[in-house]
Amino acid sequence: MKYFFYPIAIAALIFLIVIGVLVYVREKGSDTISGSSIPLVSVGEKAPEKTPEERIAEAKERSSHIKGLYMTADVANDQGAGATRLRDKIIQLAETTEINGIVIDVKEVCGPDYSPENLKKLIDELHQKNIWAIARIAVFKDASQIEVHPEWYLTRKAQIPVEDWCARKKYLQAKNPAGEKPSVYFWRDTKGGYWLDPASDGARHYIAELGKKMIDLGFDELQFDYIRFPSDGDTQNAIYPVWDKKTPRHEILKSFFEFLNASLKSHKPEIIMSADLFGYVATQREDLGIGQRLQDIGNYFDYTSFMVYPSHYYSGLVLPADPQDALPAVNLTAHEARAHPDTVVYRSLLAARNFLDGKTRMPDSRAERGTKIATSTQNIASTTSFAIASSTPVSGAKLRPWLEDFFHEQDKAAKRPYGAEKVRLQIDAAQKAEPHGWMLWNAANVYTEEALRKE
């Protein structure tokens, strides 16, 4: 019997020696085993929680190389066969190619459009597969609150006939409990869209609260679109309930950016925020009449996402010479812009990056710049150039552009780059300008897989 106890005694002795070593190491002030980065955590003891600073740093690092695809609210939430097939295909692309992020509509221009249960399930699946989840929120173009909060909206003196962009999604409109209908004529844009007053405190809090709900559902990033004043329609007849039309539009938006940043970052310090901007905003200092200025965006958003779709440069692209990078002037018509998608993407992003870094100064006026962005494509850009500026950065925001994966049949018929060639030209140009990722847009959620690198 005495031999039976020898193994037990030896095991007990080894156990006591190990415990003694661990205690000694702890008393010496070390929190790791010598020669290892493994922390000493007792059995049953939880690993220490990360500090807010650590979580912020981790989120910034993870978000800095996102290559994403757009997903509509219907595809994200509908459990039918068609939506499921498209949803699964997008996720499969994220598992097998360089794609590592998905931008999901949670609020379009007709209003918030999501099922909390279905959306949470999708977010959990994305996180299990290490896919970055981004919530896209259309901000000031919104039809959902007209019955319950008409005081937030642009109105007009007399009604005019316009189409109803949200006719098939009336169910997204909040209903007045008393059944009362607004006694005002709402101002509508050319597509029949309703617009919130960017200066309205009620409208601002409405957007911020929706953002907090998306944070609580688990999104890694919030992306804000239509974060501007309206651009289409008889804007001169729009009556704003709050904005006095004297305060510059860009000042109104800047105050909103500051409010939104403070509201959401206080709710979750590590949440990443991004803003979608017109592609033309990347190349000029003026606000284009919609309040968006490059110098106002960057201090309140982690990423700026210019929609540098070559097909959307309706007035072409006219840029002065770039002395910083020894690049010649650019003077492309709308047709030529679509024929040179890489030039449009690269030069637009490079102009924005150099300005934000303080390397070049955007001309102060359209006259100095040598072109009227919205109306002219004259060959006069070569007579001016971006001025070299001081090295003081204007903003530290990173650029992560939207690229187009659509209109391929039109481009093919016009003998322009199309399909995988067109998409890849844009991707490579975006990466060359700034290696912080990009996103592809296709409203039908069908993407050109051949353009994506396999992983």
Kindly state whether residues 98 and 217 are assigned to the same domain. yes
Kindly state whether residues 327 and 179 are assigned to the same domain. yes
What is this structure's pTM? Answer: 0.85
Kindly state whether residues 39 and 66 are assigned to the same domain. no
Kindly state whether residues 6 and 128 are assigned to the same domain. no
Kindly state whether residues 6 and 80 are assigned to the same domain. no
- 190-203 pLDDT, tens digit per residue, is 999 999 999 999 99
Residue ranges for the chain with pLDDT beneath 50: 1-5, 16-41, 365-383
Instruction: Say if CB 404 and CB 309 are below 8 A apart.
Output: yes
pLDDT of residue 363: 55
Kindly state whether residues 373 and 355 are assigned to the same domain. yes
pLDDT of residue 17: 47
- 150-192 pLDDT, tens digit per residue, is 999 999 999 888 888 898 898 999 998 888 888 899 999 999 9
Q: How far apart are alpha carbons 198 and 241 in whole angstroms?
A: 10
Kindly state whether residues 140 and 8 are assigned to the same domain. no
Q: What mean pLDDT, rounded, does the chain reach? A: 87
Host H or E run for residue 106:
strand 101-108
pLDDT of residue 290: 95
Instruction: Say if CB 102 and CB 445 are below 8 A apart.
Output: no
CATH code assigned at 307: 3.20.20.80
Q: How far apart are alpha carbons 403 and 421 in whole angstroms?
A: 13
Q: What is the Cα 110 distance to its own chain's centre?
A: 19
Q: How far apart are alpha carbons 347 and 5 in whole angstroms?
A: 80
Domain total in the chain: 2
Write out the two tokens for 34: 């010598």
pLDDT of residue 437: 98
Domain that holds residue 17: 1-48
pLDDT of residue 449: 98
pLDDT of residue 286: 74
